[in-house]
Amino acid sequence: MSEHSTGLDAVRLTQLGRVNSVVPSPCGTWLAVEMAELNEEQSRYISQLWKVWMDGSHEPLRLTRGPSNNKAPCFRQDGSLGFLSNRDTDENKATGPNPRFQVWVLPAIGGEPQPITDEPLGVLSFQFAKAANKLVVLTPVLPNVPHEKQRSTWEDRQKNGPSALHYKAMPVRSWDHWIDEPGPHVISFDGQGNERRDLTPDAGHEHLQASWDLSQDGSTVVVTSRTPLMEDHLPAQSLLFLDLDSGGQRYLEHQPTVILDQPCFSPDGTQLACLRRTRTSEPAHYVSLWLMTLATGEEREVAARWDRWASTLLWSDNGDSLFVTADDDGDTPVFQVSFVTDRVQRVTTKDSGGSHGSLCTLPHSHSLVGFRHTVFHPPEPFVVDAAPDATPRLLANLSGFSPEEGEAIARIERHHTPSDGGAEIQSFLLTPQAEDGPHPWLLWIHGGPINQWRDGWHWRWNPLVLVSQGIAIAQPNPSGSTGRGQEFIAKIWGNTWGEQCYQDLMYVTKSLTQHDRLDSQRYGAMGGSFGGYMTNWLAGHTDQFRCMITHASIVHFSMFHGTTDVPGWFAMGMDCDPYAATDALEKDSPHRFIADWNTPTLIIHGEKDYRVPISEALYLFTALQHKGVRSELLVFPDENHWILKPRNIRAWYQSVLQFAKQHLAKKILRPTDV
């Protein structure tokens, strides 16, 4: 296999700017853009704010700099730019980043940023009212500790203990940390950070990972609120309305199998849109769009016949529709959903493809802004007419990587492979642009399982890094993937992980071995999370792949259920009692087929991964070593389910490429050759 010096390697990947959010100025002439950049030591990312002119009349301008993180831009009513920053608030010190974020404001008339909050444990998120002098923040608060003693009490506990964590019910962990004592509270201020008022003084952990919104007139906050676990060991999630003037609270009556999420007020504050996720006895849960009239309490589903799952929600300026993003057959376009006709129209053209996020309406225009990305370029700020079949236009190249560079690295094809499940399986195929092949290749299986590979940039699983080294990448969207409708998602539900999805992947593999740009003998499989599970399942059921690379993967269903931070969700997806029906639970568990596993395997895991605990990787490595299968274990003690630190990202790609090249070489290596 030839070495390639051009293209995109892991070092350059980590050096690119990472656009995370976009918000337009009230005048509509420029955008505030949050972008993470690599620090001088190339050890971590620092978020900074940039100014991008809508008309392109000037080069983008850096608004913040230094060793501190500056993120989450939001404009105040007077045109000043608010943001979260962990810079030191003491002007006489240059001690670097503070452990806590506060709300800072960059005045519209110029000058230096100033802090307007000083929350003892920092600010998690914030919003200014668009048409009122109001500020609301979400901040962690220790229970039964006076406000003036919050900081000193917390710092003493962190330094001197006790460190004990005591639980009487699940959950106890989340993603990469134990759930500790401070719970998020909703705090209101005036727009200058004065008149502090705790709107949820008795809150515990019901607002953990909450989504929330502030009405434009600054009168009301709506925040998601979790209830204790239901009989199925999962929470319900309702909505809590908070009156900023009276401090009054009103709960939307919850239903035990319903989760309401991403609430957002209409421009006039009379209606509320949200996502509604319903757990039913039918296969797979269902995500729908709901509209509420606040004065009457009337609720209704919107666009019930639209067989897609909306994600980002944005009201049109006149309040008669929503702009949403949703996975759709390998893309994540922008759609417009009408409340009048229930009709759904695609805004961004199908030919333009791509994925979109951070949507905002552009003031004084009929346009939308946000960020857009494809396989060939990272997220960049864009603008598009708020009309059907409009062509999006990029406004800047902040990342430092152009679409033309991506197109010079790889050819991309979309394939649709017939399967025995009655539906064609859509896949992306990326092959080196400069060579005809046949190329060695990897079947790269996505996580989820309710997810999709899309025409979009991926910071963690970027195929261009491998294609630049001469390895083609196939990215299938088998049963269980989003973008194909509810029935297609449901095929992965109810303890069927190793069935239809496995068949789909084998049909795709068979089809691709006949592709004239792919080598019919030199191919492997890889994946992370659920993709890692499917890689493990393939290894126990076929020897046709040259190698397996499995990241943060599930190996033993019973052990995984007992240690993951989300056991209720896993049990629901398996549709069985994990303790009363162990045999039923484990019928598709990869550990049962390790006796048939002969393929060389690279196992990768982060030790701080509480979603798929590292015990899964240790179990698999121990088993393969015992069996004599060539296997390697790569552990990142300081990473979670994702690999996030720049130098760790580089080590990840280096190990993956080295292992793949070794086992996809033209000569089949014998143990004595290694």
C-alpha to C-alpha distances, 672 to 345, 621, 661, 668, 669, nearest whole angstrom? 61, 21, 17, 11, 8
Separation between Cα atoms, residue 493 and residue 501, nearest integer Å: 11
Nearest Cα to Cα of residue 441 among 394, 473, 419, 464: 473
Separation between Cα atoms, residue 286 and residue 326, nearest integer Å: 14
Its pTM stands at: 0.95
Determine the pLDDT at residue 2.
37
Determine the pLDDT at residue 532.
98
Structural domains of the chain, with CATH: 403-665 (3.40.50.1820)
Separation between Cα atoms, residue 528 and residue 444, nearest integer Å: 9
* DSSP line for 153-178: HHHHHHHH-------SSS--EETTEE
By the 8 A CB rule, do 527 and 444 touch?
A: yes
Determine the pLDDT at residue 253.
76
Nearest Cα to Cα of residue 67 among 92, 50, 43, 83: 43
Determine the pLDDT at residue 110.
81
Determine the pLDDT at residue 339.
94
Q: Which residue numbers in the chain have pLDDT < 70? A: 1-6, 90-97, 281-284, 421, 667-674
Separation between Cα atoms, residue 224 and residue 226, nearest integer Å: 7
Determine the pLDDT at residue 90.
60
In the numeric block, which tokens belong to residue 144?
């039964």
C-alpha to C-alpha distances, 193 to 88, 99, 190, 203, 421, nearest whole angstrom? 18, 20, 6, 22, 58
Query: In the 8-state DSSP scheme, what is residue 576?
Result: S
